[in-house]
Amino acid sequence: MNLNFRYSTLGVLLIVLIISACKTTGGLSTKEALLRFQPTKGDQYKMGMQMSMMMEGPQAMTMTMTMDNDLKVNGVDKDGSFYLDNILKKIGMSMNNPMMNMNYDSSNPNMDDPTSAEMHKTMGAMIDKSMVSKLSNRGELLEAPNYDEIFGDNPEMAGQIDQMNQSLESTFITYPENAVKVGDSWDATSEIAGQVPMTQNFTYTVKEITATNVILSVNGTIDLSPEAMMSGKGDFNGEMTINRLDGMVQLSTMKQNLNMSVMGMDMKTSTDINLTMTKQGK
């Protein structure tokens, strides 16, 4: 083969590789990143959450829970705010303590077991319901789902609404106003009402910036309201991987420790929470 032809062929291949790399990274800087949610209408995601908890104290208990959700972006406004349809597809839970063992699967509930049947009154009502919320491109919750319209006059759901909003807000980080570099940090606070009111204080720190992802370390504190049936304090730490192209959390691992008092009984919990989100396309 002619040597000049070899060199010209190699040159073409290198150009193709460079162009492909530029398309993949979008030319994003690895020195700093402006974190924003930037989904497009029709984007679809699958989100999975796994939680395991150990409780020490007079009522020692272990519990595991899994949740599978389908997410779809129904629309995007000119200011970047977007409408997210969140549909819970499946939830599973197991709980073991000296007084009781319980297993619940929303896709196959054991209605002969009184505890499982009672749980299904609440959990089953949430399955396959369309819950649309509006969020800013920085992750602030602008409009919560209309739960009265979704569930109607269902007293079984009354204690779950604040917890659903908490879960939604925890999934979407509130991003800082300005671009960030490795080592930069910002704070956020979440006030949670409901049956167990609490204040969560978050500190996010940039660990790494690549052409496609931003990796954050997360730590913070939890304060349970002294006016509630539970009181106490705790802390948490973990790591999150953010997709730079759309701002969505791809992976989150968190460990939480909580010391609390429940009706005069001291308890200590340790909880591991893992979340994954995978884009499915349009």
Instruction: Take residue 235 and report the two structure tokens written for it.
Output: 């802390």
* Residue at 183: amino acid letter: G
Q: What percent of the chain has pLDDT over 90?
A: 50
Q: What percent of the chain has pLDDT over 70?
A: 80
Residue 147: what pLDDT? 78
Model confidence pLDDT, tens digit, residues 238-255:
999 999 999 999 999 999
Q: Give residue 199's pLDDT band: very low, low, confident or very high (50, 70, 90).
A: confident
Token pair 């030319």 is found at 27
DSSP 31-79: S-B-------TT-EEEEEEEEEEEEESTT-EEEEEEEEEEEEEEEE-TT
Query: How distant, in Å, are the alpha carbons of 37, 49, 274 from that of 238?
Result: 21, 15, 10
What residue segments make up the domains of the chain, in order of their start? 31-281
CB 138 within 8 A of CB 82: no
The CATH fold assigned to 31-281 is Lipovitellin-phosvitin complex; beta-sheet shell regions (2.30.230)
Model confidence pLDDT, tens digit, residues 86-98:
999 999 999 888 7
Query: Is it the case that residue 161 has pLDDT exceeding 50?
Result: yes
Query: Is it the case that residue 160 has pLDDT exceeding 80?
Result: no
* pTM to 2 decimal places: 0.81
CB 127 within 8 A of CB 90: yes
Model confidence pLDDT, tens digit, residues 88-144:
999 999 988 877 788 899 999 888 888 888 888 888 888 998 989 999 999 998 998
∠ at Cα 215 (20, 204), nearest 5°? 145
Model confidence pLDDT, tens digit, residues 63-81:
999 999 999 999 999 999 9
Q: Give residue 24's pLDDT band: very low, low, confident or very high (50, 70, 90).
A: very low
CB 247 within 8 A of CB 36: yes
